[in-house]
Each structure stands twice: as structure tokens, then as C-alpha cells.
Structure 1
Amino acid sequence: MSPIKRCILAGNRQSAKSLRGAQARVLAAADPEALHDLRVAIRRWRSLAAPWRPLDDFASIAAPLRRLKRVADLGGPLRDAEVQDALLATLAPVADAGLERWQEERAAELARQQARLLGRLQGKRLARAIRRLERRLERGVDAAPSNELLAALRRHESALAAQLRADLALGPALFAERARWHGTRLDCKRLRYLLEEYGTLLGEGRAANALAAKLAQDALGELHDVDALAETLYAAGVTALAGPLAALRRQRLARAQAALVELSAWI
């Protein structure tokens, strides 16, 4: 078996194992990081499958990938709340009736969202989607020529890198539009996962590229967390934390800009 086929199959098996493990931990309420690990397992598996999706031998993986994405999306508001709570805990406490009311209303909505997620995790459809994705990826790997797989991998890496270079070329102007730099963060994440899994197949220097992409992803994610919380509180009419959040945003924006400068040296 060729190195690329061995690598894909090993990543496929590990992804399925990681997802099943995280699913069990969420259902058991085993630890506070279980939900985060569940969503990471899904995103990583989807990223690892992405290079092969355009190939005819992998057409059947689209449906189970969509089902996994829907599960990850269900967990999004719950994970956002965890991040927001951690962020609020770092700020000086304030006595604000609007903030307390928002927290109470959010708690009720999160309870409903939690019930929806648990229902999805307990259902048979998710278990079938995991089995189908694992098996269909295996069949695709068996059927596709190794040189076709390697060419698809290189095309996917090239496309991600090209998009990142286009974003980085904007410099500070990138941050004028939140949707643009949020897309940059997602591309950093996709490139990081790709290089962490397949970097040895792509050539030297990929480990450093993956680390630079991770650091940029983390810095942009921290900036996104502040913006998301500030926008949520503003929409709820809560202004007591506007000043501290604005100061924190300036700090995180500077870190994000520095991380992108570092990334530009590697991409």
C-alpha cells in the first residue's frame, strides 16, 4: 500500500475513534471539554476528507459529512456560551440588571439547545453517518489511484494557501470586514489540520507552516470571541461591559495582526 493510502486510512480510523469517544463523553457529561472535543473531531474529519471530495471515487461521502456538520452546528451555541462565560470571568464583575436578565434568558435557550444536541447524539442516524463515512472513505481510497490522491492533496493545499496569501496581502485592511478575517481564521484551521495530518507527504517545512497556521487561528479566534460577546451584549441592550471589552479587543487585535505577519513568512 502506498504511503498516501496508509496515511488517509490511519487518519480515517483515528477520526472515527475520536468522534465516538467525544460523543460518549458529551452524553455522560464527563468533562467540560467534551463538547469542544466533539466539534473539533467533526471539523478535523471533515477537513481531512476535503481533498478527496472532488474525486468521483469519493462522491458518496458528501451525505454523511453533511450530517456530521449539522451536529457540530447544533453544538455551536453551547460552545460559544462556554467561551463567553470564561471571557466574562476574566472581566471585573459588574452589577447590571440587563446583564443578569440576559444570562437568565440565555440559560433557558441553552437548556433547549442542549436537549436538541443530546437527542441528536443519542439517535441512530449519527451512528450510521459515522459508520458510512468511515467505510466510504475506505472504499474510495481502495479505488482511487495513489497518484490521483496525491495530486488532489496538492491541489487542495495550494488552494488554501492561495486564499490565505490573498487575505494576508490586504494587511491591516483585512480587519475592516469581520466576515473576511473570520474566513481567514477558518482557512488557517483547515490548512493546519491538513498539514498536521498529511504534512510528511507534502514535503519539508510543513510542520512550521502548520504551527504558524495554528497560532494565527488561535489569535483570530480570541479576537472573534471578544467581538461575538460584545455584539451579543449590545443586541441585548447590555452596555456595562462595553469599555472593558473594547480595551480587550484592542489587545487581541494587535496579537492577531502580529500572528498574521508571522504566518505570511511561512505561507
Structure 2
Amino acid sequence: MSLVDAIVAQVLMLETALYHAYARMEARTDSEALHDLRINLRRMRSLLRPLRKIGAVATLNEVAAEVGKLTTPVRDLEVLIDELEQLGFAQQANARKAILQSSYSRIVASSTLKQLFSRLDQWPSDFRAAERGGELRQIKKTIAKRLHKQVERLKAALADPQYDLHQLRILVKRTRYATDAYPQFSPISVKAAASLKAVQSALGTWHDHYQWCLKAGQEEDLQPLLQDWHVAATAALMEAEVELLHLAALLAKNQQA
């Protein structure tokens, strides 16, 4: 199977998974539907990102990005409710569940999501047309170049002590997902890839607690949790800093190899 065929096949499988997650959200069958929709959306965007300058890819990538923006606050609310329930703050959790349910309805009915599925239906023929037009002639070289550039951006960020941690978290995520999407073109070692995952997890934990601290400063019923969340955020940041040093060392070693 050619690389173009493999990409088309993967996008078609992801489209099926997205439809399935959408149907589960619409029917309210389980609490993981939105999470699964976002995971499959992320996988698709990771496939498309290295090729986003190609016209057939750019439009779908833009629509997928809009769905990501639409669903991110709702996923954040899911995670917050789960945290509150685990800590035994049922009243605070229940107070937010009605908002969550209305948010599900808004996503299911959104024109943004409908546009995504419309573009997905059209995308394979558009991508094949790009192939016939010669736009995908250097596809392997393009992907390898994009992944290399992504890793170099991450290395530069790791070397900058003033680099914004929120932006670094996003950069780590994008690098990990890009190398996961195209392991055959990944410029990093297996150990560095594992370190990327550990860094993402630590920064993700820090980011969650950081955001919850902000909410606790604005929402009165969350204030009893502020101190514990602040302590947890500090601990997660310390763990992330250790993992970041380890990742930087692995990427430097990878360059020397």
C-alpha cells in the first residue's frame, strides 16, 4: 500500500470512529463519547498537519481545528466534574452537570460539526485529485521535513528558560502526536518518544490544576479546593521540570547519534 493509500485509509477509519462517537453523544449512551471524539479528531489532525499546505488538506484541517475549539471547554468541564466527584464534592459536581448536558446538545447540533462531516465525505476525492495533480509527489519528503522542523522547534523551546509553559505544553503535544502519526519518519528515538509522553502527562496535570485554581478564584463554591489544587499544581510542575530536563537530554543525544 502506498503512503497516499495508507493516509486515505486511516482518515476513513477515523471518520467512522468520529461518527460513532457523535452518535453516542447524541444518544447519551456513555460519558466517554466526547473524549473519544476528541481523540479521533486529534489523530486525524496529526495525520493532516504535515500536509496542511496542500489545498485538499488545508480546508479539512481548518474545520477540524474549529471542532477542537468548540469541544475543548466542554472536555475541560468533564474533567473538572470528574475531579470534584473523586474528591467527594458532589454538590459542586452536580451543579455543573446541567451545563455539561446542554453543552453536549450544543455540540451535536452545531454547524461546525456538521461541516466537519461534510468535508470528510468529500475529502478522499479531493486528496486523490491532489495526487493526480502532482501535489503529493514529494509527500514522504514533505512529512519528514515537517517532523524534523517540529522537533527542532521543541528543542529550541526546551533550551529557552523563559519559554511560556502553556505554549510548551501545546508544542510537546503536537510533537508527540506528529511522531506517533508517522513513526516511519520520526527523527527521535524510542526513549525520546516515551519521554515526550511523560512530559505531556506531567504538563497536562499541572495545566489542569492551574486552570482549576483560576476557577476557584472566580467561583465561590470551588474556593475550599483552592489550597489543595495549588499544592498539586506545584508538585506537578516540579515533576514536569524533571521530565523536561530528561527530554532535552534525550533529544540532544538523539542529534549526536
**TM over 0.5, yes or no?**
yes
TM-score by length of 2: 0.83
Residue 22 of structure 1: how far off its partner (Å):
2.0
Give the alignment partner of residue 58 of structure 2, picking from 58, 62, 67: 62
TM-score by length of 1: 0.80
Q: CA deviation at 1:159?
A: 2.1
Letter in 2 for 1:62: A
Task: Tell me by how many angstroms 1:68 deviates.
Answer: 2.5
Alpha carbons of structure 1 residues 49 and 79: separation in structure 2 relative to 1, 3 Å: same
- Work out the CA distance in 1 between the residues paired with 2:132 and 2:197: 31
Q: 1:129, 1:259 → 2: CA distance?
A: 39
> What is the alpha-carbon distance in structure 1 between the residues aligned to residue 29 and residue 114 of structure 2?
21
Unaligned stretches of 5+ in structure 2?
252-257
Structure 1 235/19 Cα, relative in aligned 2: closer, same or farther at 3 Å?
same
Letter in 2 for 1:162: E
Cα separation, 2, equivalents of 1:59 and 1:15:
20
- Cα distance, 1:166–1:202 mapped onto 2, change above 3 Å: closer
Q: Describe the superposition over 1:152-177 as per-residue Cα deviations: whole angstroms up to 9, x where unpaired.
A: 11221122112211221134x44xxx
Q: Which amino acid aligns with 1:16?
A: E
Identical amino acids, percent of aligned pairs: 26
Q: Structure 1: where are the runs of 5+ without partners? A: 175-179
CA separation of 1:11/1:212 partners in 2, compared to 1, >3 Å: closer, same or farther?
farther
2:202 aligned to 219, 223, 226, which one?
Answer: 219
- Measured in 1, the distance between the counterparts of 2:57 and 2:182 equals 19
Which is further off, 231-240 or 117-126? Answer: 117-126
Distance 1:229 1:123 in 2: 28
Show the counterpart of 1:193.
177
Q: CA deviation at 1:46?
A: 1.4
Q: Hey, what does 1:116 align to over in structure 2?
A: 106
State the Cα deviation string for residues 1-52 of structure 1 (Å, max 9, x = none): 64x3344234323322332222222223232221111012112211211111
Which residue is 2:254 aligned to? Answer: none
1:163 aligns with 2:153: yes
Report SS of the residue matched to 1:265: helix
RMSD value, Cα: 2.8
1:32 maps to amino acid: S
Residue of structure 2 equivalent to 1:234: 217
Range moving further from structure 2, 137-146 or 40-49: 137-146
1:17 corresponds to: 16
CA contact (8 A) 2:203 2:240 kept: yes
Selected match of 2:71 from 53, 60, 75? 75
Aligned amino acid, residue 193 of structure 1: Y
2:35 paired residue number: 36
TM-superposition CA deviations, 1:218-261 (whole Å, max 9, x none):
21111111011111121224422221111111211122112212
C-alpha spacing 1:87/1:142, structure 2 compared with 1 (3 Å) = farther
Answer whether contact 1:68 1:126 (CA < 8 A) is retained.
yes
State the AA in 1 paired with 2:169.
R
Amino acid at match of 1:29: R
Residue deviations 1:116-162, cap 9 Å, x none? 11212897534312212343234334544666112211221122112
The structure-2 alpha-carbon separation of the partners of 1:189 and 1:161, relative to structure 1 and needing over 3 Å to count, comes to: same
Give the distance between the partners of 2:110 and 2:103, measured in 1 at CA: 11
Inter-CA distance 29–243: structure 2 relative to 1 (3 Å threshold): same
- Tell me: CA distance 1:31–1:226, structure 2 relative to 1, closer, same or farther (3 Å): same
**Distance in 2 separating the partners of 1:68 and 1:36:** 15
